[in-house]
A = this chain, B = another copy of it.
């Protein structure tokens, strides 16, 4: 099975008007996504921010739960935060995955729009690939209004956006992460009667 990693990108991402920005890290996304990543058996949760003080903030939160009082008080939170790596760029996250897994990862993102030159990939297809192919996969999620065209232009595959039955589509990124991981590696129900 290919090792699955996730990157949450805080910068550069785009704002409402498509301009490049850096979003603030929220402690909530650190904890929620680490717990979700641990539940779905991920090998790494890479938080990407170019801002040094924000990198330090996240490292401080993680250290509390990994080493401090937090580790004794809540060992399951330690397991989750042990997955966390903080990097300045997406490139650094990719290099970290490559170093740990011994192979450059496939880059896969979700996007609402098709992107010229990038292959669309179905959830079922990527699920089978993860189960059968040893090459690691790095799933990338953008905060704000999403990844920049430059980042989207570099990925190997684009998953379709998560949609419900209607047109409203404003899932929090931490909810989208959970749904995408469930579609890709969630334990499936046995067939009725088995």
Residues of A within 8 A of B (CB): 28, 31-32, 35-36, 38-41, 76-77, 79-80, 122-125, 160, 162-166, 168-172, 174-179, 181-183, 185-187, 189, 192
- Shortest A103–chain B CB gap in Å is 20
- Decide yes or no: A164 and B41 within 8 Å by CB, A171-B178, A182-B183, A183-B182 being known contacts: yes
B residues near A189, Cβ cutoff 8 Å: 122-124, 160
Q: Which residue of chain B has its CB nearest to the CB of A160? A: B189
Cβ-defined contact, B168 with A76, below 8 A: yes
Complex Cα distance, B163 from A20, in Å, reads 37
B residues near A172, Cβ cutoff 8 Å: 31-32, 35-36, 174
Cβ-defined contact, A165 with B187, below 8 A: yes
Complex Cα distance, B176 from A142, in Å, reads 21
Q: Which of A166, A168, A178 has the most CB of B within 10 A?
A: A178
Cβ-defined contact, A175 with B124, below 8 A: no
Q: Which of A28, A40, A122, A176 has the most CB of B within 10 A?
A: A40
B residues near A169, Cβ cutoff 8 Å: 39
Complex Cα distance, B179 from A177, in Å, reads 10
- CB < 8 Å: which of B39, B122, B162 contacts A186? B162
Cβ-defined contact, B124 with A171, below 8 A: no
Cβ-defined contact, A122 with B179, below 8 A: no
- Decide yes or no: A36 and B175 within 8 Å by CB, A80-B170, A124-B189, A168-B76 being known contacts: yes
- Shortest A100–chain B CB gap in Å is 18
